[in-house]
Amino acid sequence: MNDFDDWMQACLADVEAELGRHVIATAPAGLGEAMRYGVLDGGKRLRPLLVLAAARSVGGNPVAAMRAACSVELIHAYSLIHDDMPCMDNDVLRRGKPTVHVQFGEAQAMLAGDAMQALAFEVLTPAEGSDGDGDIAPPLQARLCGLLARASGVFGMAGGQAIDLAHVGKPMGETDLQDMHARKTGALLQASVLMGAACGETTPTQWQALSDYGAAIGLAFQVVDDILDVTQASETLGKTAGKDADRNKPTYVSLLGLDGARARARHLHGQAHEALQRAGLVDPTRLRCLADRLVERES
Amino acid sequence: MNDFDDWMQACLADVEAELGRHVIATAPAGLGEAMRYGVLDGGKRLRPLLVLAAARSVGGNPVAAMRAACSVELIHAYSLIHDDMPCMDNDVLRRGKPTVHVQFGEAQAMLAGDAMQALAFEVLTPAEGSDGDGDIAPPLQARLCGLLARASGVFGMAGGQAIDLAHVGKPMGETDLQDMHARKTGALLQASVLMGAACGETTPTQWQALSDYGAAIGLAFQVVDDILDVTQASETLGKTAGKDADRNKPTYVSLLGLDGARARARHLHGQAHEALQRAGLVDPTRLRCLADRLVERES
């Protein structure tokens, strides 16, 4: 596992440096400052790690993969900024810091999120003659943009958010709960794996297996989140604990009980391992370790 | 001019039908409804018309151009939804109808805008095996995504909004005002022209001339907007008139006076014509007529 930790630490440092380069401080009228506050120096960077691990597992282009990793994290970070706003979850604490709208005001928070979504696609499509020109071949740029856009929109994250909003305080069956999470958090986690895979060569079988791996860990992530929301204190999580239960939001724990939710997480963990085996990758170690960490995490 | 009107009416019908196809009503939990309310059945569709006119002027692929036209309008429509929200301009009337957040609530309005930005990039990158597969060659998809993303982010629309926000009630010189508008509205209008041009073949000289044309009409559009804001009634505009002056926002009229602003609009109009002539296009008629209409419009 030491090799994995070394790899992970190196990735985290690289991602941080790259994000710092893309999210420029000189963006006008404080916008850059709000964006940097929202995305730098915080978060587990699970999505970038998935992109980079998947790219490594298929011998993908590491420069393209790093751009893909940053683009996914920008989408994730923008979604957190918007979700925290008063008209959505009205959260004041995120990653142990005041949320972006608390720090910079609502208008700037909304704009910072909007600009970060655009930036995700800018990062994937370096301008001709720019520094990054040549980092990603144009057909790969197009493929990455398509995967990211579909994971972010009505079929993905935004659609899942809308379902979530519509169900606060209302009962929700397991099928609906799963559909909501598959879109809300699952789609972007799965896209992270597939964007990494797109940076290299895969057979259709490998692509499908990696897609299944992504779906399994995407759902496992949410089940573990729901478990941690009731078992951990706010200090450990870096955000307000127990908030979903307080708001009477449907969760895996409310639906299956704590033991049932834990069993579900183990089951999905097994599915992820099975899919990886089926993919027959040259080097699946990092993806396997990430699945393990994701299920065993305590925050 | 009759030919131009016929062309324009046909384009408007096609754009409406295409947008209706892309913004699906079945998106979950009312999200599709809010998105359709925000983008269908309203607006001058200036940006799509610029895309389609520019594409025609260079013999561009009309199917790709139609997707580009829809993507630009989706970005424009999302920006209006977010701008109208209480934390920004707090407008209740847009295109003669209640604004999206008034109709659907703030959370749904924010999500609808977010999902529409993602959808703009989905439309540009049709999935393999989907209906639109083959509409746009992958390198063109990448180029269109890059142009659109840069026009939408910190170097474009979102950056201009941030400058705008930061200057309410504060004095602003002409250089700053121009920089703000070049980003806030100019970048997307210019990108519309260039995205249309990218759908065909251009020489570097033509590309530059079309870029200059786009910059000139982008600025002219804002100058005319500022003039109309003080000379027209709300009913004609379909939105609240006089709001910028009321809010003590810097405008071309407050800076140059009404006559000065009119002279500036004429000057930019002349620059747009000059750039078109320089481009030496086979058929610049539609772009020339659009520049004329834009300056002569009364709403």
User: Residue ranges per domain, chain B?
Assistant: 2-127+137-296
Question: CA-based angle B156:B157:B159, to the nearest 5?
Answer: 70
Residue in B with minimal Cα distance to A138? B139
Check B149 against A125: CB less than 8 A apart: yes
Check A139 against B142: CB less than 8 A apart: yes
Per-residue pLDDT of B54-84, as tens digits, reads: 999 999 999 999 999 999 999 999 999 999 9
Check A162 against B82: CB less than 8 A apart: no
Q: Which of A107, A118, A146 sits opposite B149 (nearest CB)?
A: A118
| Structure-token pair, residue B124 | 């540009």
Task: Give the count of Cβ contacts less than 8 A between chain A and B.
Answer: 197
**A161 chain-B contacts, CB cut-off 8 A:** 111
pLDDT at A236: 64
Q: In whole angstroms, give the CA distance from residue B156 to residue B195.
A: 15
ipTM of the complex: 0.95
pLDDT at A238: 63
pLDDT at B43: 86
- For B2-127+137-296, CATH number out of 1.10.10.410, 1.10.10.10, 3.90.1150.10, 1.10.600.10 equals 1.10.600.10
**B161 chain-A contacts, CB cut-off 8 A:** 111
pLDDT at B96: 86
- pLDDT over 70 at A234, yes or no: no
Reduced to 3 states, what is the DSSP secondary structure of residue A171?
A: coil
pLDDT over 90 for what percent of chain A?
78
- pLDDT over 70 at A178, yes or no: yes
Question: Which CATH architecture best describes the domain A2-296?
Answer: Orthogonal Bundle (1.10)
pLDDT at A233: 67
The enclosing H or E element of A213 equals helix A204-231
Task: Specify burial of residue A233 (Cβ count, 10 A radius: 0-12, 13-18, 19+).
Answer: exposed
**A118 interfaces chain B, CB cutoff of 8 Å:** yes
Q: Are A189 and A217 in contact (CB under 8 A)?
A: yes
pLDDT at A102: 97
Residue in A with minimal Cα distance to B32? A154
- Chain A closest CA to B125's CA: distance in Å? 5
- pLDDT over 80 at B242, yes or no: no
Check A28 against B82: CB less than 8 A apart: no
- pLDDT over 90 at B148, yes or no: yes
pLDDT at A243: 64
Q: Which of B111, B138, B162 sits opposite A161 (nearest CB)?
A: B111
Per-residue pLDDT of B122-143, as tens digits, reads: 999 998 888 888 899 999 999 9
pLDDT at A27: 82
Per-residue pLDDT of A128-152, as tens digits, reads: 888 888 899 999 999 999 999 999 9
- pLDDT over 90 at B173, yes or no: no
Residue in B with minimal Cα distance to A141? B142
**A138 chain-B contacts, CB cut-off 8 A:** 138-139, 142-143
Partnered with residue A94 across adjacent β-strands are: A97
pLDDT at A131: 84
Which one has a higher pLDDT value, B8 or A43? B8
Q: Which of B29, B121, B154 sits opposite A162 (nearest CB)?
A: B29
Per-residue pLDDT of A58-78, as tens digits, reads: 999 999 999 999 999 999 999
Q: In whole angstroms, give the CA distance from residue A34 to residue A194.
A: 30
- pLDDT over 90 at B21, yes or no: yes
Q: In whole angstroms, give the CA distance from residue B105 to residue B85.
A: 10
**A168 interfaces chain B, CB cutoff of 8 Å:** no
- pLDDT over 80 at B247, yes or no: no
**B170 chain-A contacts, CB cut-off 8 A:** none
pLDDT at A183: 94
Residue B103: partners with Cβ closer than 8 Å, 6 or more residues away? B34, B37, B97
**B198 interfaces chain A, CB cutoff of 8 Å:** no
pLDDT at A5: 95
Least confident of A138-147, A259-268, B35-44: B35-44
To probe the interface with A, which of B76, B87, B249 has the most A CB atoms within 10 Å?
B87
- Which is it for strands B97-98 and A97-98: parallel, antiparallel or unpaired? unpaired
- pLDDT over 80 at A237, yes or no: no
The per-residue pLDDT of chain B, averaged, comes to 93
pLDDT at B246: 61
**B99 chain-A contacts, CB cut-off 8 A:** none
To probe the interface with A, which of B111, B116, B164 has the most A CB atoms within 10 Å?
B111
**A165 interfaces chain B, CB cutoff of 8 Å:** yes
